[in-house]
Amino acid sequence: MKRRAFLGTTLAGLGALLPGCGGGGGGGMGGGGMGGFMPGLPFAPGASLAPGLALRDLPKLANESALAGRFTASLAAAPSNTSLVEGRTTALWLYNGLFPGPVVEVREGDRVRIALENRLPLDTTAHWHGLPVPADQDGNPMDPVRPGTTRVYEFDIPSGTAGTYWYHPHAHGTVAEQVSRGLAAPFIVRAANDPLAAIPEVTMLVTGIRLDGNGQVSPNGPLDFTMGRQGEQLLVNGGRLPVHTVQPGATQRWRILNATSSRYLRLALDGHAFTLVGTDGGLLGAPVGPLAEIVVAPAQRVEIVVAVTTAPGARFTLRALRHVSDTMGMGTYSSEDLLTLATTTAAPVASIALPATLRPVVDPGPAVAARRVVLTQSGMGMMGAMFGFLIDGRSFDMNRVDFVSTQGAVETWEIVNDTFMDHPMHLHGTQFLLVSRESGGRVTPAPHAAWYDTVDVPAGTTATIKVRQDLPGRRMFHCHILEHEDAGMMAVL
């Protein structure tokens, strides 16, 4: 209560300072008054953004190694003129010319070697989001890959890390721009023994796109750097409102990745419930469900099992339901359709039963250290933002170390959000457990044990996590609203 009251006092009347912020009509904050961006695409969609095409199967990054246990590949990040809407080509930045980028698929125990060639006009890196790779191989902002150069990343995939990850640039100050222009792709680690191996699976990478009147990816403005990028249309595997067609009665495992810069995905599928089987760091101890909806914060992933209706020739909509991500309603996103699930007219197939247990999620044991990290806001932020968002009162400086942990030591972190916005906080180098949440003085234990690398910390609340870094080196801790990260909401562990 105290925190909310404080926020209310601090922020009273702010709405009057923001031009065009009338409370977000049908299209949320992306509408007309926000610097001329259209809430929808400005042209009759042709080419690849036409709605209603079949859900694309994302191409895999080819393994150039013939040796068992080796994954060797090449990525080039480069400008690419791509036909997204009719009558225009859109200047994107892509991995290997693909929108979205190719899926890296490896197995536990593999030795990975990926060469990244930077053909962009600015620094980039490849960050292997969520994977426990050595600090100097993790695409930190301190290790930029300069334009015209190639950097080889090399790391092992430990056993027990099977799960759904992703990769994206982490060059400081331009992450939001690089991702919004197309640089993001899934990274899937397969287990030697997957308890769900019998269930057909689909990877769904959710990204956002916002084009200006010339069909170009519109740059972020002050409002975007304050609230996160506004007014994007959601795409699944690079397609708009794609149709995913399955046989009636099918059981499917969906790996859903939130690769948008700032959009909370509150997912619901008409006529169906979800069974949650995995989070950022892989499978849960046991299936959780049925769930009518599930929130996937920016950068998070979920693995869900969907028991598709036995009705033939039916259609259902997967939606990102209305979500409010701040205490003033500025970051209000109205419900948006994501995808159509359609059943064929064939006879129903037999459903596949889920096992009662999946794999042990082992608590790392009692904490030997406790840390309290406070998120606050200041006046005028960087990049023209109306607020700066700070971690322990500081803005990012890559030459400073903000926190020191002991390698191998279990810690609890209380992450206190004293700002008016929700922040999905991401820690590099490891996965952690959510212990509890506190809101208005009430503590709620985590409903089940699950591995995360990104935890949402809603405005005015506290999230407590339990974490252990097994590898030494400098790790990033930051908000995964990419505009906040670029504007300095990042610290060095």
- Sites of contact with Cu ion (CB under 5 A): 423, 479, 481, 484
Least Cβ distance, residue 135 to Cu ion (angstroms)? 23
Least Cβ distance, residue 400 to Cu ion (angstroms)? 20
d(C-alpha 336, C-alpha 331), whole Å = 14
Pick the closer one to Cu ion by CB: 248 or 488: 488
Which amino acid, residue 247?
Q
Pick the closer one to Cu ion by CB: 358 or 479: 479
Least Cβ distance, residue 426 to Cu ion (angstroms)? 10
Pick the closer one to Cu ion by CB: 280 or 456: 456
Q: Which two tokens stand for residue 41?
A: 């695409």
Residue with the two structure tokens 């990290």: 373
Parallel, antiparallel, or unpaired for β 243-246 and 233-236? unpaired
Least Cβ distance, residue 422 to Cu ion (angstroms)? 8
Pick the closer one to Cu ion by CB: 154 or 392: 392
- Rama region for 256: left / alpha / beta (φ>0; ψ in -120 to 50; rest): beta
Least Cβ distance, residue 421 to Cu ion (angstroms)? 6
Pick the closer one to Cu ion by CB: 171 or 176: 176
Pick the closer one to Cu ion by CB: 252 or 376: 376
Least Cβ distance, residue 423 to Cu ion (angstroms)? 4
Q: What are the distances in angstroms from CA 426 to CA 234, 418, 487?
A: 22, 17, 15
| 276 backbone dihedrals φ, ψ, rounded to 5° | -80, 125
- Residue whose CB is nearest to Cu ion in the complex, by number: 479
> Minimal CA–CA distance to 160: which of 407, 436, 470, 447?
470
Least Cβ distance, residue 389 to Cu ion (angstroms)? 5
Least Cβ distance, residue 335 to Cu ion (angstroms)? 23
Least Cβ distance, residue 484 to Cu ion (angstroms)? 3
Least Cβ distance, residue 198 to Cu ion (angstroms)? 40
Least Cβ distance, residue 489 to Cu ion (angstroms)? 5
Pick the closer one to Cu ion by CB: 118 or 300: 300
d(C-alpha 116, C-alpha 104), whole Å = 13
